[in-house]
Amino acid sequence: MALIHGSISGTSPVRLSFSTSVPPSRVSVFVPAMKGLRNSCRIMVLRAMVQEAVQGSSSVYAREMERLSAKESLLLALKDAGGFEALVTGKTTNMQRIDVNERITSLERLNPTPRPTTSPCFEGRWNFEWFGSGSPGLLAARVIFERFPSTLANLSRMEIQIKDANAKATANIKLLNSIESKIILSSKLTVEGPLRLKEEYIEGMLESPTVIEEAVPEQLKGALGQAATTLQQLPAVIKDTLASGLRIPLSGSFERFFMISYLDEEILIVRDTSGVPEVLTRLETPSSSSVVETLEYDS
């Protein structure tokens, strides 16, 4: 992947330029005759130039292949662990947990984005795939499963929308397999450094439930019909409040710090102050207006 053009004179330093038009196995060197230098000296200089170019390009290529392999390995480990439902219901085994955590660590050290908090890749819709044992998201999810049987309440997925230094986390809940609702938590994000962010919670909201009529059990259709009739008889102010959802102001109540340990166009990994990891996968590609950031590696 390196093509070297160079010129050397007796009084001027070596000047090199690189392009990626050829594979690493083919390196071409064009150097005019150098007055005042012996052939052996010239050969030594050329060898040094070629070796540096080949080693540099092959090193970047090998590191990128290692990163892609580590990312694929993590996604497979998450799938083998049972996915989101197995995680929130506590069905993942200790062996699966340690396996996922090992692969998370392996991917983090290959992070291609040196300043993720200001990267355009950070914005977008992300789906929660993995929580650590002490994650607030996991604890909130388990409350639903422990308090209610799966036939009564089910947390189908959790996602977060990040845009313009604001975040909106959404938990999708299904009751009796026929009533859907959402719990939405809005927060403000403040950049504290190239890796670190502060999250301040602004508002929590429980959306008005949506009834899937064809999925309602026969024995509950009468009760739901009565409830709908009762709601229609409520004062307009109360009906409007219920229709827009129940809002709970949280400003000044809760905040947390976390760091982004890995970010690319598909995967986001964050860790809280106790080091617990969360893995998210992108639900949609960044907007076309986003500036594409050059991926860099720390040497």
- What span, in angstroms and rounded, lies between the C-alpha atoms of 191 and 247? 27
For residue 179, give both structure tokens: 């009533």
Q: Does domain 117-212+234-282 fall into CATH 3.10.129.10?
A: no
CA dihedral (216, 219, 221, 222) in degrees, to 10, reads: -170
Q: In this structure, are residues 3 and 18 in contact, taking their beta carbons and an 8 Å threshold? A: yes
pLDDT digit of tens for each residue in the chain (299 aa)?
444 444 444 444 444 444 444 444 444 444 444 444 445 545 554 455 556 555 667 888 899 999 999 999 999 999 999 988 788 777 889 999 999 999 999 999 999 999 999 999 999 999 999 986 655 555 556 555 555 555 566 677 889 999 999 999 888 877 666 677 788 889 999 999 999 999 998 988 888 777 655 555 555 555 555 555 555 555 665 555 556 667 888 887 788 899 999 999 999 999 989 898 999 999 975 554 444 443 444 43
Task: Go through 165-177 and write b for each residue having 16 or more CB atoms within 10 A of its CB, e for each that does not.
Answer: eebbbbbebbebe
Residue 34 has a CB neighbour count (10 Å cut-off) of 15
pLDDT of residue 195: 97
> What phi and psi, each to the nearest 5 degrees, are found at residue 28?
-105, 135
For residue 110, give both structure tokens: 């290959």
Query: Which is nearest to 268 in space by CA: 253, 279, 276, 255?
Result: 279
Output the CA torsion sign for 261, 265, 267, 272.
positive
Q: In this structure, are residues 141 and 98 in contact, taking their beta carbons and an 8 Å threshold? A: no
- What span, in angstroms and rounded, lies between the C-alpha atoms of 184 and 128? 14
> What phi and psi, each to the nearest 5 degrees, are found at residue 74?
-65, -45
DSSP H helices in the chain? 39-80, 83-88, 94-108, 136-147, 218-232, 236-244
For residue 132, give both structure tokens: 């650590």
Residue 283 has a CB neighbour count (10 Å cut-off) of 13
Read off the pTM. 0.67
Query: Which is nearest to 126 in space by CA: 292, 278, 295, 241?
Result: 278
pLDDT of residue 59: 85
Question: H or E segment at 220?
Answer: helix 218-232
CA dihedral (85, 90, 91, 92) in degrees, to 10, reads: 90
Q: In this structure, are residues 283 and 126 in contact, taking their beta carbons and an 8 Å threshold? A: yes
Sheet with 3-7, edge to edge strand ranges: 15-19, 3-7, 29-30
- Condensed to tens digits (0 to 9), the pLDDT of residues 172-209 reads 877 666 677 788 889 999 999 999 999 998 988 888 77
What is the three-class DSSP state of 207? coil
C-alpha to C-alpha distances, 124 to 165, 198, 266, 294, nearest whole angstrom? 11, 18, 11, 18
234 residue type, one letter: L
Place of tokens 């990163």: 67
Q: In this structure, are residues 203 and 186 in contact, taking their beta carbons and an 8 Å threshold? A: yes
